[in-house]
Amino acid sequence: MRRVFTRERLPIIATATVLVLLYLASGLLFKGFFGPQVFLNLFSDNAFLGIVAVGMTFVILSGGIDLSVGSMVGCSSIMLATLVEKGHWSPLAGIAAVLAFGIVVGLTQGWLIQKFGLPPFLVTLAGLFFCRGFGLSISRESIQIKAPLLTSWSNWSATLPGGSTVPLASFIFVGFILIAAFLAKQTRFGRTVYAIGGSEPSTVLMGLEVARTKTLVYTFSGFASALGGLVFALYTSSGNAVSGTGLELDAIASVVIGGTLLTGGYGSVFGSLLGVLTLGVIQTAIMFQGTLSSWWTKIAIGGLLLVFVLLQRALSVLSPSAKNA
């Protein structure tokens, strides 16, 4: 038991406990909440947020922050819709262009942060304004996506025994989670990210590629947010430049609730998945309740976020080495 319930693992154990309790309480209060389709919808309805949160996890693990992810989601969705519907590009070419755009923006932000020692908060805040403005310059109106290939992807779903369905967005989300978890735990890049967040000066003395890794972290986040925008476009069958407003805050909240330290060095992709699902359960429960405003979701998330920040602070006081675990 001592090996399982270590101080370093307490945040993610706490997240899993809160998620299970919220799910059980909601199931007991609302008829039909325990239905398999409701559970599966937690993945499809939050796929774009989850993908963005994965990219944010790597950034926060390295001790940074990325405020541009929400605006990148909106910019990516309107770019895809415009290229395909008005520019008559092939869907695959449009997807490649959008992902390349996300990579370039992330790479530029990472290079500026690393090369000139600029604060990540300010650089990515500039990226937020750039992406939002660029998206609005493309179109201020929502554009419906009618391309046959993208429409077929939006409508496609796998049918499970019992009649439950799993849309493509869920498969993309889960696949991305698995790839990111492998990168974080099984590659030199992932181990260097953890080392930088734990102590960047020590990482430099160890001879690890700090500059390259920090740049790649923001590049990966840019790619993840662009991919999240594509998934959102498939989810809604449209592009909208103002979509994703405030999503960066939801992504940060998911990562922190998932047990990742804001100071960097400790956390996991799986924990961020639990954080996203926790937010999804809260939102779904409020929808089942029917009379509460959607703003109660934000209130509940704010309360949970405060609790987990206090938990992180308590753990750092009790065990200063937890940050470097």
Q: What digits encode the pLDDT tens for the residues 70-91?
A: 999 999 999 999 999 999 999 9
Q: Between 297 and 53, name the one with better pLDDT.
A: 53
User: Residue 160's pLDDT is what?
Assistant: 93
Mean pLDDT of 136-141: 96
Q: Is the predicted pLDDT of residue 6 greater than 70, yes or no?
A: no
pLDDT for 316 equals 65
pLDDT of residue 247: 96
**4: amino acid identity, one letter:** V
Q: What is the pLDDT of residue 323?
A: 45
How high is the pLDDT of residue 215?
97
C-alpha closest to that of 173 among 294, 49, 47:
47
Average pLDDT for residues 95-105, to the nearest whole number?
A: 98
Q: At residue 319, does pLDDT exceed 70?
A: no
Q: What is the pLDDT of residue 325?
A: 40
On the question of pLDDT at 4 being above 70, the answer is no
Of the chain, the percentage scoring pLDDT greater than 70 comes to 94
Two tokens, residue 193: 């990210």
Q: pLDDT class for 8, splitting at 50, 70, 90?
A: low
What does the pLDDT look like over 260-284, one tens digit per residue?
988 899 899 999 999 999 999 999 9
What the chain holds in terms of domains, given with CATH numbers, is 39-324 (1.10.3470)
Q: Comparing 174 with 302, which gets the higher pLDDT?
A: 174
pLDDT band at 243 (very low <50, low <70, confident <90, very high): very high
Amino acid 274: pLDDT: 96
pLDDT grade for 321, boundaries at 50, 70 and 90? very low
Looking at every residue in the chain, the average pLDDT score rounds to 92
Rounded average pLDDT over 157-181: 96
Percentage of residues of the chain with pLDDT beyond 90: 81
Q: Give the residue from 141, 133, 297, 132 showing the smallest Cα distance to 229.
A: 132
Residue 318 has pLDDT above 80, yes or no: no
Answer yes or no: is pLDDT of 324 > 50.
Answer: no
On whether the pTM is more than 0.85, the answer is: yes
- Cβ count near 3 (within 10 Å): 6
Q: How does pLDDT run across 103-114, given as a tens digit for each residue? A: 999 999 999 999
In angstroms, the CA 123 to CA 206 distance is 28
Residue 161 pLDDT greater than 80, yes or no? yes
SS3 sequence of the chain: CCCCCCCCCHHHHHHHHHHHHHHHHHHHHCCCCCCHHHHHHHHHHCHHHHHHHHHHHHHHHCCCCCCCHHHHHHHHHHHHHHHHHHCCCCHHHHHHHHHHHHHHHHHHHHHHHHHHCCCHHHHHHHHHHHHHHHHHHHCCCCEECCCHHHHHHHHCEEECCCCCEEEHHHHHHHHHHHHHHHHHHHCHHHHHHHHHHHCHHHHHHCCCCHHHHHHHHHHHHHHHHHHHHHHHHHHHCEECCCCCCCHHHHHHHHHHHCCCCCCCCCCCHHHHHHHHHHHHHHHHHHHHHCCCCCHHHHHHHHHHHHHHHHHHHHHHHHCHHHHHC
Beta strands 165-167; 157-159: pairing state: antiparallel
| pLDDT confidence of residue 104 | 98
314 vs 86 pLDDT, higher one:
86
